[in-house]
Amino acid sequence: MSELLSQFRLARLPDEAEAFRSDVKAFLRAEMPPAPADVRSRSWMGFSAEFSKKMAERGWVGLTLPREYGGAQLDAFSRFVLVEELLVSGAPVSAHWIADRQSGPLILKYGSEAQRRAYLPKICAAQAFFCIGMSEPNSGSDLASVGTRATKVAQGWRLSGRKIWTTNAPHCHYMIALVRTSGTAEDRHRGLSQFIVDLSLPGVTVRPIHDLAGDAHFSEVFFDDVLLTDDALIGNEGSGWEQVTAELAFERSGPERIYSSIILLDHWIACLRRSADGEAHQETIGRLAVHLATLRNMSITVTSQLVRGASPIVEAALVKDIGTEFEQSIPAIIESAIAGDPDVDIDPDLYRTVAYLSHISPTFSLRGGTREILRGMIARGLGLR
């Protein structure tokens, strides 16, 4: 067996993490207002600063961060349980999502002590929301080719360029941007650095991008000679590639990469239970359940590697690639099932939900790294290139 495949040894959630699940369920029953499936299916794209603050009051934003910085200091298994319950209930979590999942852990690992003291308590209190500044026009997921540049000046750094497909930028306070600080785009991995960019600074412009569903989660962000102080640099100048690849392991392996269509699947099953047509779709539902169980176990395995302090970059890419394919298949399968029996009355909420996910599902294999980039990484992990 290849070294990559041998990394996927069966792992299980510890008993204390499963015990935590009942607390999360009780919180969601109390704090989640009733909402139709098409609204809940927006879960980790749904923005509610009020909901995030309620979670922060329970200590559940920055769940894995140390107590000295305001976190709950629980492990990644507990975070897996928290995220899983939030997604299957359709909670609006995107306000704090990026800061909790990757900005906070990145600052903890690579930031200075001053940066930890400045940003982590605000993240844990849901007072600082972050977005990701990786993709650019003409570079997409090929992060090594980014052209946005920070030039050293007497007052710090002068930032110029543009980022795109930035989630929730109009609502966020900060961006962690991957930019070039030396050399050219042809230098690939060398000369890249990460900066914390205050989005209220002069020279920053944010333009929302409307998608096919009518939502505007994504944005373009322009930097026109934005002046950053020296303490905006995370880690060492030129160490951005190492840092960002470690950060992507958090982004690519989580339950959000397998549960984006779970509200639709659950609602379809509920509709079938109320009708006489459930038996006709048993085989399909069984196949989807098996795929979901396998992917969930793979995601827990990657979580166990994060708990051990490893950086499972290729393993996370494998989960993300297979997971997004699964997420995309669900609306396509349910659309086909509905179209296959046009005489059956269809629940209007099921129609709205499947329509929304059919519109948005092509993005599942783009966000967090395109399928082509991920498969190249997997091929290298298997020793095939």
CATH of domain 252-382: 1.20.140.10
Fold (topology level) of 131-239: Butyryl-CoA Dehydrogenase, subunit A; domain 2 (2.40.110)
User: Looking at residue 225, what is its pLDDT?
Assistant: 97
Name the segment(s) of the chain with CATH classification 2.40.110.10. 131-239
Name the segment(s) of the chain with CATH classification 1.10.540.10. 1-128
Is the model's pLDDT at 1 over the cut of 80? Answer: no
Q: What share of the chain is helix, strand, coil (3-state, %, to 5)?
A: 55, 15, 30
User: Looking at residue 357, what is its pLDDT?
Assistant: 95
Range of weakest confidence among 17-31, 52-66, 207-221: 207-221
Coil, strand, or helix at residue 373? Answer: helix
pLDDT, one tens digit per residue, over 25-83 is 999 999 988 899 999 998 888 899 999 999 999 999 999 999 999 999 999 899 999 99
Res. 222 pLDDT band, cuts 50 70 90: very high
Distance, in Å, from the CA atom of 32 to the CA atom of 272, rounded to the nearest integer, reads 25
- In contact, 35 and 90? CB cutoff 8 Å: yes
Is the model's pLDDT at 354 over the cut of 90? Answer: yes
Coil, strand, or helix at residue 36? Answer: coil
User: Looking at residue 344, what is its pLDDT?
Assistant: 82
Distance, in Å, from the CA atom of 277 to the CA atom of 273, rounded to the nearest integer, reads 8
Res. 5 pLDDT band, cuts 50 70 90: low
User: Looking at residue 3, what is its pLDDT?
Assistant: 65
Res. 291 pLDDT band, cuts 50 70 90: very high
pLDDT, one tens digit per residue, over 90-132 is 999 999 999 999 899 999 999 999 999 999 999 999 999 999 9
Give the residues across from 151 on adjacent strands: 158
| Percentage, residues of the chain above pLDDT 70 | 95
How much is the pTM?
0.88
The top-level CATH class assigned to 1-128 is: mainly alpha
Name the segment(s) of the chain with CATH classification 1.20.140.10. 252-382
Which has more confidence, 260 or 309?
260
Distance, in Å, from the CA atom of 184 to the CA atom of 146, rounded to the nearest integer, reads 9
